[in-house]
Amino acid sequence: MTLLHDSPTAVHERLMAEHSAHNYHPLPVVIADGQGVWVTDVEGRRYLDFLAGYSALNFGHRHPVLTAAAHRQLDRVTLTSRAFGNDQLGPFCTELAALLGKERVLPMNTGAEAVESGLKVARKWGYDVKGVPADRARIVVAAEAFHGRTISVVSFSTDPEARGGFGPFTPGFDVVPYGDAAALRAAITPETVAVLLEPVQGEAGVIVPPPGYLAAVREICTASNVLYVSDEVQAGLGRTGHVLATRAAGVDADVYLLGKALGAGIVPVSAVVADSDVLGVLKPGQHGSTFGGNPLACAVGRAVVALLAEGSLLEHTRAMGEVLHEGLRELLGHGTTAVRGVGLWAGVDVDPELGTGREVCERLAALGVLAKDTHGPTVRLSPPLVITEPELHTALTALRHALRS
Ligand SMILES: *Cc1c(COP(=O)(O)O)cnc(C)c1O
């Protein structure tokens, strides 16, 4: 029932409350349009978007080069299925593989599907190449990780909310503390086929591992003939100021999982990227997706790859990241108990005396900056990479105020 005096926000909130599944707890902001770093809500209020679709909007809302690529493809052909070829798929796989210095791409749609596909490839590689006995493959993962919401992925989650009520769970996973190379080494058995890790744990609160950890992971995987699978769904494609956060640490994984920004916030596009000796284990009929590798997704993905390959946005991200982290360091002890991150990506732990992360995000929204709490006291900041220095200072000023009230 709509009352005459209801605000547009209240009308939309009631529709969502009554008819959408309540699997999220959004801030009371209903967005009507977006451009670059900015969004406008149904009341006409403008906000700086400091979540950027959890990094799906690394290039901002409606980046003109990316929407142009989508528009061009919309006017040609959008879906063929993989029963036939399409003239965007080959170029997309070739260009993305070249950007990452790998040989092959398996295109999927969502991040969780890329993770599921990566796990399937790792298990199959374990049986076909490594020679693990049938149905015995094990995969080592990290505590506090986030890899998506499917049954198999929540099967190895350590978040009680993500798991609770969703069993029975998929077996075959061993969980070790993140950042602890000795624990990882101890968890490897002759039946281990892969280690799956985020190079920076995003949902856990933008946790950057200790120096040398990723190199140790590489060394352990190589020594034990285990695939190193790096989930760069959130960390990859520019967020840290690099195409790959793993490579920025001087390390090369065997398998990269990409998603989020690969579709530029326009369409869901994800991918598993690896060399032929790994992705070659998949034969016709053994894996697939109706929408994976569709021409619209590939056209957008190609434009994203070209934008990243050009390089200036990565350079800009590194420079703006320094401004962000310098500003955040000044907040340490002033309403925060810890600040950390890399590139245009930060976790800010709110001093509990000042309220929860959620409360600070509500104050930030009232001040014109949209961010989202993760794990209680932590506010995650991840603006579009196209943000300018004055916009960054505007947001830092708002954060200073939000941490004062
Ligand atoms: C978001 C995310 C996923 C899941 O992606 P969806 O598109 O939401 O399925 C997987 N891994 C990481 C690291 C993520 O941040």
Average pLDDT over residues 217-236: 98
Query: From start to end of 210-291, where are the E strands?
Result: 227-231, 255-258, 270-274
List pLDDT tens digits, range 74-109: 999 999 999 999 999 999 999 999 999 999 999 999
List pLDDT tens digits, range 106-134: 999 999 999 999 999 999 999 999 999 99
DSSP label of 286: S
Find the radius of gyration of the CA atoms of the chain: 21
**Reported pTM:** 0.97
146 lines ligand 1 (CB under 6 A): yes
Q: Residue 181: what residue type?
A: A
| Backbone φ, ψ for residue 403 (5° rounding) | -85, -5
Residue nearest to atom 7 of ligand 1 (CA): 111
Average pLDDT of the chain, as a whole number: 97
Is pLDDT above 90 for 183?
yes
List pLDDT tens digits, range 198-213: 999 999 999 999 999 9
Give how far Cα 20 sits from Cα of 25, 66, 148, 323, 344, Å: 12, 30, 20, 39, 32
Closest by CA position to 66, among listed 239, 262, 235 = 262
Contact in structure between 214 and 249 (CB atoms under 8 Å): yes
DSSP label of 128: I
Average pLDDT over residues 218-241: 98
| pLDDT for the residue 376 | 85
List pLDDT tens digits, range 254-277: 999 999 999 999 999 999 999 999
Is pLDDT above 60 for 405?
no
H/E stretch holding 362: helix 357-366
List pLDDT tens digits, range 343-364: 999 999 999 999 999 999 999 9
287, two tokens: 């894996």
| pLDDT for the residue 35 | 98
The number of helix segments (H) and strand segments (E) in the chain equals: 14, 15
Closest by CA position to 115, among listed 185, 62, 52, 194 = 194
SS3 state at 88: coil
Pocket test for ligand 1, best of 109, 146, 272, 382 (most atoms within 8 A of CB): 146
pLDDT level of residue 65 (50, 70, 90 thresholds): very high
Q: Which residue is associated with the tokens 């505590």? A: 143
115 lines ligand 1 (CB under 6 A): yes
DSSP label of 129: I
List pLDDT tens digits, range 275-331: 999 999 999 999 999 999 999 999 999 999 999 999 999 999 999 999 999 999 999
Average pLDDT over residues 367-377: 94
Average pLDDT over residues 147-162: 97
199 lines ligand 1 (CB under 6 A): no
> Residue 175 C-alpha to ligand 1 middle, in angstroms?
18
Alpha-helical (H) ranges within 242-311 are 245-248, 276-279, 295-310
Rounded-to-integer distance, Cα 59 and Cα 61, Å: 7
CA 335 to the chain's CA centroid: 28
Is pLDDT above 80 for 137?
yes
Domains of the chain in sequence order? 64-310 (3.40.640.10), 312-402 (3.90.1150.10)
Give how far Cα 218 sits from Cα of 104, 235, 255, Å: 20, 18, 12
**Is 231 among the catalytic positions?**
yes
Of the residues 102, 130, 260, 372, only one is catalytic, namely 260
% of residues, the chain, pLDDT over 70: 99
| pLDDT for the residue 228 | 99
Q: Per 3-state DSSP, what percentage of the chain is helix, strand, and coil (rounded to 5)?
A: 40, 20, 45
Rounded-to-integer distance, Cα 176 and Cα 190, Å: 17
Q: Residue 373: what residue type?
A: D
Average pLDDT over residues 142-146: 98
Q: Which residue is associated with the tokens 């506010």? A: 379
109, two tokens: 């749609």
Give how far Cα 398 sits from Cα of 50, 77, 265, 404, Å: 12, 45, 26, 10
Of the residues 41, 49, 231, 349, only one is catalytic, namely 231
| pLDDT for the residue 404 | 87
Average pLDDT over residues 225-243: 98
Is pLDDT above 70 for 1?
no
Contact in structure between 332 and 401 (CB atoms under 8 Å): no
| Bridge partners, residue 140, by sequence | 174, 195
Contact in structure between 137 and 226 (CB atoms under 8 Å): no
Between β-strands 270-274 and 255-258, what pairing exists: parallel, antiparallel or unpaired? antiparallel
> Residue 172 C-alpha to ligand 1 middle, in angstroms?
21
The atom of ligand 1 lying closest to the CA of 203 is: 15
> Residue 327 C-alpha to ligand 1 middle, in angstroms?
28
